[in-house]
Structure 1
């Protein structure tokens, strides 16, 4: 359950840069993910409902290289102890050793390994995600949602299986697949 896909989102903006180089070339640079960004997730439940939540503490950087998407990169970290679901009992369970093991593994990290454009304003971000000491390859889809001045915003989505990270408690009643929806805002530094 990690919204680290968020970092991948940042790279997605490169696609529009190549498509609209005259205006998008101004997006070149190093961007720091702002605290106003949103990282949400959903784990479906058999028969309806499920667990919906977000993470409140995270950080990341994306380097945008308009016209050369392959040279763009994203790094992202989130603190699983910052999970919020609106239910203290559920939050405590998610932070426990049954799921995130937040005390022993205080960060979930994502580092891109490849960014490729798949549309005029979107990209696929491939990378490695580390959670609970386990590292696996994951993929996210990012779409440029807007930019103004030194700020850029991406919509990032992705699905991650929780079982390979040792977080499969509750399956099959709760789905193995975690769906992430992120709005990542970056400020050029």
Structure 2
């Protein structure tokens, strides 16, 4: 069994939400951890666990970030972590996988499915073996209890229910 740990200096954990239904607001988590274990070199039997610190959320707007941490959204005081635990990895071809797992946000756990593109393995200048992955998917925020909503004067939504997940992940092979 080989264990891999996420390299936070070379990874990005982002989400995108439509604002006023015309543009995307991008947010990310600055503090997170992930572990991947696999016995097969092609990662087809991988098991993945991930957690993000809700208080590290950033959308480049401190007022919005504080609102996201509030009970209207993530409720960071009562639910400081977002977690993911894989339940299945389905290999489609050498570079494409479907990752299924349980995502927990705000104390609510729901099954999610992420598309994974495997970019390969390389050795960095410091002798560390690294594997690269791009993950994407979509969730409905209301499925996780993030139900705050507002409408514009014209009746349009301020924040979309759909949240796109976009992750660029570099994993470091552990000795």
When the two structures are superposed, what TM-score results if normalisation uses the length of structure 2? Answer: 0.86
The secondary structure found in structure 2 opposite 1:100 is coil
In structure 1, runs of 5+ residues without a counterpart are 1-27
Q: Which has the higher strand share?
A: 2
Q: Which has the higher contact order (CA 8 A, sep 6+)?
A: 1
- Equivalent of residue 102 in structure 2, options 114, 120, 128: 128
C-alpha deviation, 1:97, in angstroms: 0.7
- Which residue does the alignment assign to 2:167? 182
Contact persistence 2:82–2:104 (CA under 8 A)? yes
2:155 equivalent to 1:167: no
Contact persistence 1:42–1:51 (CA under 8 A)? yes
Per-residue CA deviations over 1:143-189 (Å, capped at 9, x if unaligned) read: 11232131111011111110011102126431111101111111111
- Which residue does the alignment assign to 2:90? 116
Q: Which has the higher helix share?
A: 1
- Equivalent of residue 48 in structure 1, options 8, 22, 25: 22
When the two structures are superposed, what TM-score results if normalisation uses the length of structure 1? Answer: 0.80
2:2 equivalent to 1:29: yes
- Please say which structure displays the higher CA radius of gyration: 2
C-alpha root-mean-square deviation of aligned residues, in Å?
1.7
- Equivalent of residue 136 in structure 2, options 157, 173, 177: 157
Q: Distance in 2 between matches of 1:34 and 1:61?
A: 10
Q: Distance in 2 between matches of 1:119 and 1:159?
A: 22
Per-residue CA deviations over 1:84-113 (Å, capped at 9, x if unaligned) read: 111110000001110000111111110000
- Equivalent of residue 113 in structure 2, options 130, 133, 139: 139
- Which residue does the alignment assign to 1:59? 33
2:63 equivalent to 1:89: yes
In structure 2, runs of 5+ residues without a counterpart are 124-128, 151-156
Q: Distance in 2 between matches of 1:86 and 1:68?
A: 37
Per-residue CA deviations over 1:112-142 (Å, capped at 9, x if unaligned) read: 0000011221100001011111111011111
Report the count of equivalent residues. Answer: 162
The secondary structure found in structure 1 opposite 2:76 is coil
Contact persistence 1:141–1:156 (CA under 8 A)? yes
